[in-house]
A = this chain, B = another copy of it.
């Protein structure tokens, strides 16, 4: 049975959604859960949910990383945090994967240094799933594990993203693209132009450059970029979505007829708001670390936690790390500096 270590103290509302999501996952996905965190709190929370016979255990950790902790502080000074203990369970083989909705920077640091990097990987990448207009999913990576990437790193991100996409979404030959500022090979900056020339020689289903607007139109599956760009892209998408939702609400409160209209169409809105809520899409895997790691949004609800556990389970089942090692071993391009 696959075992998932859940950092139960990470999210904004921890440990409530973590425990509820974990119980659902244990029941529905047939996985064993190690709930890591402050034992008394976890016991109390777990007692609220029927879980008799389910493979759920509590593993105590005495410290909690907060959203205000810097990654360095969290990594160096909170050695008995739930994220550290969960990571140790993966390193020691007691768990197959780590799931956390904690401080993204801190969890990345703990997982990256605690687990180490796969031997053929130079830089890890955080891969964020986005809903597309066609009802599918596109994955953008890296969204912030690294900055100042070199062309060879982008090639590795492309390989890792493609393997992850295939494992999770079942697409045999996912379409891989570079995020740039024009479709032609000559468009972009030094980094993307060089990465383009390498990707077109690779065995990937590389379709060329896409622009920012194409992330959401479903024309490609895996979109590769430097982590500085990817993080800005992710945050802007969240910002625009919030901004638009706020403006819409304001507009609908402006007249009586639009208020009545809002009441009548409330159900449609609810489904709409759910679609633009990125936390519904499970978590973002940190690809390239030795051990499957999935990081959820800080505001994850129980469904998002369950989905993150599902993604982690599928990555373990699909042998994603072994495939990444094999695939990258076939790419002879040396990485600069």
Q: Please give the residue numbers on chain A whose beta carbons come within 8 Å of chain B beta carbons, in ascending order.
A: 105, 132-133, 144, 147-148, 179-182, 188-190, 192, 211-217, 226-229, 231-244, 246-248, 251-252, 254-255, 257-258, 260-269, 271-272, 275-276
Give min CB distance, A245 to chain B, whole Å: 8
**A228 x B188 contact (CB < 8 A):** yes
Hey, which chain B residues are within 8 Å of A179, CB to CB?
232
**B190 x A212 contact (CB < 8 A):** no
The 9 closest A-B pairs by CB, nearest first: A261-B265, A212-B235, A213-B239, A261-B264, A212-B236, A258-B265, A258-B268, A147-B189, A251-B268
Hey, which chain B residues are within 8 Å of A237, CB to CB?
212, 236, 240
Give min CB distance, A134 to chain B, whole Å: 10
Query: Known contacts A254-B271, A272-B248: does B231 contact A233 (CB below 8 Å)?
Result: no
Hey, which chain B residues are within 8 Å of A272, CB to CB?
247-248, 251
Across the two chains, which residue of chain B brings its CB closest to A213?
B239
**A260 x B255 contact (CB < 8 A):** no
CA distance A271 to B249 in the complex (A): 12
Can you list 13 A-B pairs, Cβ within 8 angstroms, ordered by A?
A181-B228, A189-B228, A212-B239, A213-B236, A215-B236, A237-B240, A240-B240, A244-B244, A247-B276, A248-B272, A251-B272, A255-B267, A257-B267
CA distance A179 to B264 in the complex (A): 41
**B261 x A133 contact (CB < 8 A):** no
Residue in B233, B257, B263, B267 whose CB lies within 8 Å of A232: B233
CA distance A192 to B190 in the complex (A): 17
**B240 x A241 contact (CB < 8 A):** yes
Query: Known contacts A236-B237, A263-B261: does B133 contact A247 (CB below 8 Å)?
Result: yes
**B216 x A243 contact (CB < 8 A):** yes
Interface centre among A179, A182, A214, A264 (most CB of B within 10 A): A264
Residue in B226, B232, B265 whose CB lies within 8 Å of A265: B265
Give min CB distance, A140 to chain B, whole Å: 10
CA distance A144 to B181 in the complex (A): 8
CA distance A144 to B180 in the complex (A): 11
**B242 x A241 contact (CB < 8 A):** no
CA distance A237 to B214 in the complex (A): 11
CA distance A232 to B216 in the complex (A): 13
Hey, which chain B residues are within 8 Å of A247, CB to CB?
133, 272, 275-276
